[in-house]
Structure 1
């Protein structure tokens, strides 16, 4: 059989068909890439949307202002803290609503549960500041209880069966009457940012955890950044090449991949059990996070030093500069944008770690705000863990709010890293 001769038109047709298939593959690849990015962005928006939906209600709260007659027979001028203001307010509020209490005081107890315990401290502070208020009617403002706050936020509904909610129909009616009479006000929840942790959700805030996280980051930065940059400078610029240097480099890369909980176990054994440093303190937390951040800082710094053109070093040496002068006056300043970026990103990573903090004791209830590195404190990640495991439903909205605060800090730190890199970066 004779073969059909291949003409130029056939070759051109085959070439066009091949180009068409190649362009089709490239188009599908771009489509797959866009699809992957779309899926990732969709999941991110879903996550953020769910957190915002659950946590936005924590940024506003409700306060009740009730007139209280400071009965001289029940209010102690000398020691107002010993007065049962909660019962006094509950009984007077029931009387204003025309509700008679029973012999067991059941209705008074139900009314008391609608007010936060902050009410008694606010009333005692007013009397302590001005004892002449005894015998007068004084308006006292205080947050409502967590259940009442959830009702005003429509998280608790009257339509829910009574055995499935913590507020009775009568308590809901009392809340409606107080709101209709203008006693209840809605305002921004400044206490979320100005108070520490509390066993009562309506009084809980993130300030203690924010201060604790800030103190830990200070300790981490003071230890990890100088040590990390110094180690990277020695390994990249001064260390002789050999098996020992290669072994150190391999172990640094391996340490960067070690799970964070291992660093928590190391901190528990080394800093608490052996060195007897204060448990759950910012000092111990900062030391543990510094160990965890060191490999990342070393790797980022070495990469930045490698990016500096060798001609910079050669020119400095040719002008008579020593090796040390070349490194610290020429190489390191040019690599500083990458060094700062790596340091800030490692700090942001350390800010969001939870497992090592739980192992060194930052899982306990700590209501105060730390004032030194040796005091027990909490941190934002551990506070999220504690609140999410709390039984009160109102803590769940504050958990989402704490996550938003943590995300805001991390976004600011990453934005600072991007700004510094673009501001000082040089193109070679």
Structure 2
């Protein structure tokens, strides 16, 4: 006689074991993913750590009347004054090659730093002062052990003479490392030691502001019409299918569209945040519409039906009762769409935002770049110091993205209606 109870118990045990294996497989996948993420972020953060501090050299700068005209200090040749101070500190550099190596210890920004200090403090005129000026990226790399001095001299970025001068500066207390605020307050530069992300950050902020101002009202309006008022016919079905298809279109296609329409036919300013924001708005619109329609569907039909039963018009029922309840989901979808737009590079490259921009843009019509494009430009630079700048810019971009997603979560929890 067949014992069905025993067979049922055996089958139940097998199912429980299968469920446990499946759960452990899912947990293992999550753990492996987190490990890969930790390794990736950790490697980026390790490379970015060197950007937080910067080397400076104390140089005796002669600002006497023989070098700087007190009546017109802006006309002085501060680069020549800085070089003279270096030669005074190291008189053994007599040949042309040695002088060139000596001048390589200081950043080209050093002369502009002296000019700014004189403009800020005119009392420096007529004196000889020891001023702390930004060192070159090669010197900074050497101080952090990034240059292998065991290699032959012709195979490294820094010569034996420069190493000897750096050691003398360290022994004399004329070399230090300070917090590199310039990374956050400067624009881009060909010199890695003074390059910063401010112009790219402001360009991204302007582009996102334009994107949100265009995409959010248009996307929400389109979602409300399609979900609540559009008749159920072939045209509505065609529009819905195309919206879903546009959400999967590669972003570079939107860049080509912006290049053709906004720049080619409309003649809008090239490389401007206005055009960048318009292109990103086109790319973000499908995402916002889909998220907004999903938020509208999540509202119980009884809200609208109750309003209609009490005499409200369809427009009043939607905008006074359904729309406020769906707004948290709509905002969440919009912010997630903005976060996606923030990380896009391809469409911005197509409209010229890949240009080398030093000055911080003051309006949406001025030439600008964006954080993802800035990362792309620095990653393509041959100097090793730009590798660290790239890693630091990636960290800033990730922090920006995480902050936007946190805002979306907090808004949703604060505004959502539970029922």
User: Which residue of 2 is the match for residue 398 of structure 1?
Assistant: 389
Deviations 1:108-132 (A, max 9, x none): 2111111012221222344556677
* 2:204–2:342 contact (8 Å) kept in structure 1: yes
Output the CA distance in 2 between the equivalents of 1:130 and 1:344.
46
Q: What is the CA distance between 1:330 and its match in structure 2? A: 0.3
The question of 1:364 aligning with 2:392 is answered: no
Output the CA distance in 2 between the equivalents of 1:128 and 1:407.
38
Output the CA distance in 1 between the equivalents of 2:90 and 2:138.
20
User: Which residue of 2 is the match for residue 57 of structure 1?
Assistant: 50
Between the two proteins, the alignment pairs up a number of residues equal to: 419
CA distance change for structure 1 residues 118 and 79 in 2, over 3 Å: closer, same or farther?
farther
Output the CA distance in 1 between the equivalents of 2:224 and 2:85.
73
Deviations 1:202-224 (A, max 9, x none): 11110101111111111101100
User: Which residue of 2 is the match for residue 342 of structure 1?
Assistant: 333
Q: 2:32 aligns with which of 25, 35, 39?
A: 39
User: Which residue of 2 is the match for residue 418 of structure 1?
Assistant: 409
* 1:90–1:109 contact (8 Å) kept in structure 2: no
Deviations 1:358-413 (A, max 9, x none): 00001110101001111000100000001111122111100111111111110000
Root-mean-square deviation (Å): 1.8
The question of 1:163 aligning with 2:145 is answered: no
Q: 1:312 aligns with which of 303, 307, 328?
A: 303
Output the CA distance in 2 between the equivalents of 1:379 and 1:14.
65
Q: What is the CA distance between 1:106 and its match in structure 2? A: 2.1
Output the CA distance in 2 between the equivalents of 1:28 and 1:162.
59
User: Which residue of 2 is the match for residue 386 of structure 1?
Assistant: 377
Secondary structure at 1:266 match in 2: helix
User: Which residue of 2 is the match for residue 99 of structure 1?
Assistant: 92
Output the CA distance in 2 between the equivalents of 1:79 and 1:55.
41
Structure 2 gaps, min length 5: none
Q: 1:279 aligns with which of 267, 270, 280?
A: 270
Which residues of 2 match residues 294-309 of structure 1 at below 5 A? 294-309=285-300
User: Which residue of 2 is the match for residue 23 of structure 1?
Assistant: 16
Output the CA distance in 2 between the equivalents of 1:398 and 1:127.
29
Structure 1 gaps, min length 5: none
Output the CA distance in 2 between the equivalents of 1:338 and 1:77.
64
* 2:93–2:99 contact (8 Å) kept in structure 1: no
Deviations 1:242-274 (A, max 9, x none): 111001000000000000000000000000011
User: Which residue of 2 is the match for residue 223 of structure 1?
Assistant: 214
Q: 1:115 aligns with which of 93, 106, 111?
A: 106
Q: What's the TM-score, normalizing by structure 1?
A: 0.93
Output the CA distance in 2 between the equivalents of 1:250 and 1:410.
29
Output the CA distance in 1 between the equivalents of 2:116 and 2:31.
56
Q: What is the CA distance between 1:43 and its match in structure 2? A: 1.2
Output the CA distance in 2 between the equivalents of 1:326 and 1:226.
19
* 1:215–1:282 contact (8 Å) kept in structure 2: yes
Q: What's the TM-score, normalizing by structure 2?
A: 0.95
Q: 2:136 aligns with which of 142, 145, 151?
A: 145
Output the CA distance in 1 between the equivalents of 2:192 and 2:263.
31
* 1:86–1:112 contact (8 Å) kept in structure 2: no
Output the CA distance in 2 between the equivalents of 1:130 and 1:254.
61
User: Which residue of 2 is the match for residue 377 of structure 1?
Assistant: 368
Q: 2:6 aligns with which of 10, 13, 17?
A: 13
